[in-house]
Structure 1
Amino acid sequence: MKTVIIGGVAGGLSAASQIKRADRDAEVIVLEKSGDPSYAACGMPYNLFFKDTPVEALYALSLDTIRNGRGIDYRLRHEAVAIDPRRQEVTVVDHEQNREYRERYDFLVYATGNRPAPLPLPGFDDPAVCYFKTLDDTRRVKRLIHDQAPACAILVGAGYTNLEVADVLYNMKIRPVIVEKAPAILPAFAAEIRDKVMEKIAEKGIEFHAGVDVQGKEGATVRTTAGDFDAGLVVVAIGVKPNTGLFAAAGGELGAAGAVKVDQFLQTNLPGVFAAGDCAEHYVRQLGRNSYMPLGPVANKQGRLAGNNIAHRDAMTMFHGIDQTAAFKFFDLTIATTGLNERQLREMGTDFGKIHVDTPTRGSFPGGGTMRTVLLFEKGTGLLLGGQMVGQDVVAKRLDVLAVAVYKQMTVFELAELDLSYAPPYAPVWDPLLIAANQAVKAV
């Protein structure tokens, strides 16, 4: 059995590893067009801070481990340029040897990830403009920061990535200026969560402009409807698009958000072709349908499952989906979410209630902070539909408790009865989750 995998980061390497784990004799070829093996992309903003820590520290595995330890034929700088589903062949360009060849497959895993949404404006092809998607982007930003020491950076877009970048640059004494096209940041979050993030932006004195259109760049000047800004670095992070051009050109069917359409076994409409990761749809349990939420854990899970289903074709396993759980850091705040958000609930016509509470994170013990918890629940039944948090100290792990509650379809009545641990260094006697659940019980 021969499997060719296009894309060698999270989904692709997970698929390859799972196939080899199940069948050591299976032939597995990974085509990775960059010069880097699989890496932890979420760590890229934080690597900027450490001048002497190479970006290669973000590699998930060394090339030697992948090739010799796991027995995977992992080919760097080999770019797939065409798929022929009838012949079951991939046309490949080897950029090292400057040659083109064809690789036949029994099974194919399409794991090409996503690409940054472009900003096709005058001047945005300048070397000082970075999209911060790959390790090469990180290398370029890092060289620019440490070699040229820009005083100011313009961050176009106010999503997870640029908020993390703003945090890092601020702590490197580089003044971030954030411009956002939408009227508000973080549209998937409740207003009560966004308010706390905006308070932190104001507290740090970060210049922020919402409802702004960028018009172009001339030299070091970025022109916008909010005025002109001079900066030695521009980071554009205005969203991503699934990288599906190669698949679509082969007759592949696309689905949610233009991602590769997959069934619950991660099979596509092309025979013998599976898809996984940031290029593919993701099944959302509460919605009961596929959507698109590209995150590292999802890519790894889907890649592993695609590999498992190739290795065990007579006993394939379904991908049971995601609950839209995510978290990120912004200075001393953790911002986290799980389950459905208000926009989705309104679109579904759900009769839901919402509460929010502010609580300390610890008992009578130094070093704690405060946090805000938002719970969304079904009116009448109290079914927990979603939860969001923002605050200092232990927030993400409390959010994980809510993620389990959403997965198990618990009600706020059941959430209020959970036997959560108490000790002053870790929690007040009434944990913030229990306080929030009891408030929700009153509002059901």
Structure 2
Amino acid sequence: MKVIIIGSVAAGTSVAAKARRNDETADITLYNADYDISYSICGIPYFLGGEVEELETLTPRSAAWFKKRYNVDIFIRHEVIKIDAKQKKIQVKNLDTNEIKEDTYDVLVFATGASPITPNIPGVEEDHVFQVRTIQNTVAIDQYMKANQPKKATIIGAGYIGLEMAEQLSHRGLDVTIIQRSNHVMTHMDKDIASRVEEHLVKKGITLILNEEVTVIDKMNVQTKSGKFIGTDMVILATGVRPNTKLAKEIGVELGNSGAIAVNSKMQTNLPDIYAVGDVAESYSVITGKSIYRPLGSTANKMGRIAGDVITGGSLEHRGILGTGILRVFDLAVGQTGMNEVEALEEGYDIEILHNIKPARAEYLGGKELLIKAIADRQTGRILGVQIVGKEGVDKRIDVFVTAITFKAKAEDLFHLDLAYAPPFSTTKDPVMYTGMALQNAIEKKNKLITPKELTDRLEKGEKIQVIDTRSAEQYKVSKVESAINIPLGALRDKCKDLNPSLPTVTYCNGGITGNAAQNVLRNLGFYDIYNLSGGNKNYQNYMKNK
């Protein structure tokens, strides 16, 4: 069997490696138009920022290494320019010599990846404007910075790469400006969580411009649609990627709703003996079963392994993804998995939302605060998505939630997890466990939750709601929910007689725990339509500042 793979970064080399492990007799060839293979795209910002000292660290494997290790032939600077699917033939152009040769295959795999989107902006061709995708891009940026010693950088786009580059260029001493077209950074996350990342960026000295578009780039400035001129010495384009599907489309390979190649669970396309993997291929949601496109190295490696196994007679199948991601923004970690609030509502779910603010480990050992936004389906109790922001413990918790959602866990299941506990690592009631407990109580209407948005919307419509601030008078004076009255928890049993038990009532504290205790007190005293403000006053103030 002769296997030809087009592309040899994460997905393509994973296909080859797994196919060879399964079958020592297969003839496996990879053609790659680029200079480099099997490199870490995700590590590029950290080389440019100086955390990775040697660029070669990101390119640990060469074509010669693959030949020796796996008996796989990799041809760099060789571009597949034409495919005859009926005859199972391809034409390959040597980009160094312009020589064109023909090759044949039994199985063909598209691992052509994705290319960065170049916005249609006058000036994007300038020498100081860069994409961040390949090792060649990386070399160009590094050489430019060494030669020109730039002082100011402008980043267009505020996704993962944009924010990572902002952090790293700031570490290099540059003044960094981020320009984002939408109203918040990290569009896969909800605005109320993204706003906390925005605050942190500004605190770290990043200039952040939202709801703005770049219209012109010249040698000294970036001009925006609103007429701003931003002085800059270099520009980073971080406006997303587009799957490289041109070759596939030419031979009739079907694309999915996302614009990437549609594949089944075995990574097979609609054409016989033709597969697609990695950033060129579409995945599907573990939750909804619908198509989803999240070009990440982890998914690419997984897809490649599955295809390599299937091609050589194995039984692996792709089980979908949650679109999980994690990002470091200076000393803040940001993680998300599954559906955000907007997506869940668009899918028609009746959702319960919890903003859980808890320390990642014992506060007496310096534990720092985590904010967990969790979304569950009220009908089934199933966890649909989680977003977490904090300075420690984010990676641990997001991976627990990923596992739980993948195996269709309900909110109540989280409380019963036997998670590792010791004061340096966690709290006795881990934030994951508390999230499940609070969500389940809300779903069962024992302890109903209300988000700052829901409360504000109802108050603005003129609805009569009793809002009770259960904190101290000193805290109440500093900041509070508009229209709230101050009744500290200790005085609530005596003063509740002055309240109307038939009116909707909202209790809150700083983060949620004391508000929940007050909610229990009032419920036991005959108040029946009572809510705890999700995330407490901290979450409310953040919402009001950023709404």
Q: CA deviation at 1:432?
A: 1.5
Q: 1:370-427 CA distances to partner (integer Å, 9 max, x unpaired)? A: 2111110011432111111111112112100000100111111110111111112111
Residue 357 of structure 2: aligned partner: 358
The yes-or-no answer on 1:126 pairing with 2:126 is yes
| Contact residue 35 and residue 76 of structure 2 kept, 8 A | yes
In structure 1, distance between residues paired with 2:346 and 2:270: 29
Map residues 306-385 of structure 1 onto 2, 5 A cutoff: 306-312=307-313, 316-364=315-363, 366=365, 368-385=367-384
- CA deviation map 1:136-159 (0-9, x unaligned): 111111112233211110000111
Paired position in structure 1 for 2:278: 277
The alpha carbon displacement at 1:98 in A equals 2.6
The match for 1:302 is: 303
Deviations 1:144-189 (A, max 9, x none): 2233211110000111111010011111110110001112222221
Deviations 1:266-292 (A, max 9, x none): 111222110000000102121112221
TM superposition shift of 1:50: 2.5
Contact 1:332 1:392 in 2 (8 A): yes
Using the alignment, how far apart are the partners of 2:203 and 2:319 within structure 1?
Answer: 42
Partner of 1:250 in structure 2? 251
Q: How does 1:173-252 map to 2 (within 5 A)?
A: 173-226=173-226, 227-252=228-253
In structure 2, C-alpha distance between the alignment counterparts of 1:91 and 1:63, rounded to whole Å: 21
Q: For 1:71-105, what per-residue CA distance to the aligned partner results, in whole angstroms no more than 9, with x for missing partners?
A: 11011111111111011111111123331111110
Partner Cα distance (2:197, 2:431) in 1: 19
Q: Which moved more, 1:362-371 or 1:257-266?
A: 362-371
1:188–1:342 contact (8 Å) kept in structure 2: no
Partners in 2 of 1:60 and 1:304 — Cα distance?
19
Distance 2:60 2:396 in 1: 23
Match of residue 155 from structure 1:
155
Letter of the structure 2 residue corresponding to residue 419 of structure 1: D
Distance in structure 2 (CA, Å) of the matches to 1:421 and 1:191: 32
Alignment of 1:365-444 (within 5 A): 366=365, 368-444=367-443
Contact 1:188 1:343 in 2 (8 A): no
Q: Which runs of 5+ in 2 are unaligned?
A: 444-547
Residue 79 of structure 1 aligns with an amino acid whose one-letter code is E
Taking the TM superposition and a 5 Å limit, the aligned residue runs for 1:56-71 are 56-71=56-71
Report if the CA contact (8 A) 2:4-2:109 is conserved: yes
Whether the 8 Å contact between 1:254 and 1:261 is mirrored in structure 2 is: yes
Task: Spell out, residue by residue over 1:164-220, the C-alpha distance to the aligned partner (whole angstroms, 9 max, x if none).
Answer: 100111111101100011122222212332121012022113111111111111222
| Aligned counterparts of 2:66 and 2:283: Cα–Cα separation in 1 | 27
Report if aligned partners of 2:88, 2:104 keep a CA contact under 8 Å in 1: yes
CA distance in 2, matches of 1:30, 1:176: 40
Q: Secondary structure at the match of 2:81?
A: strand
CA distance in 1, matches of 2:260, 2:51: 36
1:238-263 deviation line (CA, Å, top 9, x unaligned): 11111101110122111122111112
395-404 or 421-430: which moved more?
Answer: 421-430
Which whole-Å deviations, capped at 9, do the CAs of 1:335-375 have from their partners, x for residues lacking one?
11111222221121110111011111121554542211111
How far 1:121 sits from its partner (Å)?
A: 1.7
SS at match of 1:406: helix
CA distance in 2: counterparts of 1:145 and 1:394, whole angstroms? 35
SS at match of 1:404: helix
Query: Aligned-pair distance for 1:69?
Result: 1.2
SS at match of 2:433: helix
Matched, 1:138 2:133: no
* Secondary structure, aligned partner of 1:429: coil
Residue identity opposite 2:344 in structure 1: L
Secondary structure, aligned partner of 1:322: coil
Q: How far apart, in 1, do the equivalents of 2:264 and 2:409 lie? A: 27
Change (3 A) 1:51 1:348: closer
Which is worse superposed, 378-387 or 362-371? 362-371
Indicate how the Cα distance of structure 1 residues 67 and 190 shifts in structure 2: closer, same or farther if over 3 A, else same: same
| TM-score, L = length of structure 2 | 0.79
Q: Distance in 1 between matches of 2:265 and 2:224?
A: 44
- Say if 1:231 and 1:65 are closer, same or farther in 2 by CA, change over 3 A: same
Q: Aligned equivalents of 2:338 and 2:178: distance in 1?
A: 28
- Normalising by structure 1, we get a TM-score of 0.96
1:61: how far off? 2.4
Amino acid at match of 1:219: K
Q: Secondary structure at the match of 1:257?
A: coil
Report percent identity of matched pairs.
33
The equivalent of 2:291 in structure 1 is 290
Q: Secondary structure at the match of 1:50?
A: coil
Amino acid at match of 2:85: P
Distance 1:202 1:442 in 2: 37
CA–CA separation in structure 2 for the residues paired with 1:236 and 1:429:
45
* CA deviation vs aligned residue, 1:111-133 (integer Å, no higher than 9, x gap): 00011111122111012111111
Q: CA RMSD in A?
A: 1.5
Letter of the 1:54 counterpart: E
Given that 1:416 and 1:437 are in contact with CA atoms closer than 8 Å, whether structure 2 keeps it comes out as yes
Residue 258 of structure 2 aligns to a residue whose secondary structure is helix
Would you say the 8 A contact 2:46–2:52 is kept in 1?
no
The amino acid that maps onto 2:393 is V
Q: How many residues align?
A: 442
- Tell me the distance in 2 between the aligned counterparts of 1:394 and 1:147: 40
Indicate the structure whose relative CO is greater, using CA pairs within 8 Å and at least 6 residues apart.
1
* 1:376 to 1:103, Cα distance in 2 relative to 1, 3 A: same
Amino acid at match of 2:168: V
| One-letter amino acid of the structure 2 residue matched with residue 398 of structure 1 | R
